[in-house]
Amino acid sequence: MPNLKDLKNRIASVKSTRKITKAMQMVAAAKLRRAQDAAEAARPYTERFNAVLGQLAASVGSSDSAPRLLSGTGSDKVQLLVVMTAERGLCGGFNSSIVKKAKTDITRLLAEGKTVKVLTVGKKGREQLRRDFAELLIGHVDLSAVKRLGYADAQGVARDVLGRFDAGEFDVATIYFARFENVVSQVPTAQQIIPAKFETEEGAETTLYDYEPDEEAILSDLLPRGVATQIFAALLENGASEQGARMSAMDNATRNAGEMIDKLTIEFNRSRQAVITNELIEIISGAEAL
């Protein structure tokens, strides 16, 4: 049985751990609200953008002159996976669930004989992927210096991806991120961004627009922005998911620390009583011996 001093120290250390996790939980809660607001604020743009782009894409269709960002390169041999994770840990299974999904897909694609390239956004995903697929990593975007995620950050990632596409480095690009459902559930999601895919609503009322300049010029102007917009939306979702995951992870940690403190306190009191009983026995038997 550990002595009283040890127990006292352990209780003190678990108590300070609980203080830290409690503080982290509250910080995550505050950040989560901000991240959710940001994701909410970005929604009108994304929705509008996709609606217009979808309409344009439908009207240009798959004609030969359609931009390659829309029609693709005609092959799916080389796949680019953009894996977006957090820059920091201590957020439960958030990073590993995204990485796990990406890993499953990498293994599947490799088995199909495709060439896989991986671009990582966020330090944690990179660390985890480096263990198994170090030779597939072609680049990394560091967002650790970014305090508040802005559209410019997404543009940076998009420029990187588009530059590689123009250089013919890959045929299909997919982004991996966690979609924010609610605080306890974040769903790892894969979304294809190049060639662009649109959900065309059947039977939706379509207005016939005039285009200025012509449809294809607009489309080739908008598609690269579409990539940036999708990446931005994904990064925002990811940000909210990260904070949500961290909040619930820290909530659990705080609760566990509380349970541990209770258990240790009971043990401490027991041993203290045992020590007192022992001392009493010694005193009484000493007195009787006299």
Which residues are tagged catalytic? 91
Compute the distance between CA of residue 25 and CA of residue 13 in angstroms, rounded to an integer.
18
Nearer to another protein, 42 or 129 (CB): 42
- For tokens 């975007």, what's the residue? 141
Nearer to another protein, 70 or 250 (CB): 70
> 173: which strand partners?
80, 194
Contact residues: another protein, CB under 8 A: 38, 41-42, 44-46, 48-49, 52, 56, 150-151, 154, 207-213, 217-218, 221-222, 225, 228-229, 232
- What DSSP string describes 64-117? TTS-HHHH--S--SEEEEEEE--SS--STTHHHHHHHHHHHHHHHHHHTT-EEE
How would you list the strands of the sheet with 78-84, edge to edge? 137-141, 115-121, 78-84, 172-182, 185-194
As measured in angstroms, the least distance from the Cβ of 45 to another protein is 4
* 117: nearest Cα among 67, 160, 72: 160
* 138: nearest Cα among 154, 126, 155, 147: 126
Nearer to another protein, 183 or 223 (CB): 223
Nearer to another protein, 217 or 275 (CB): 217
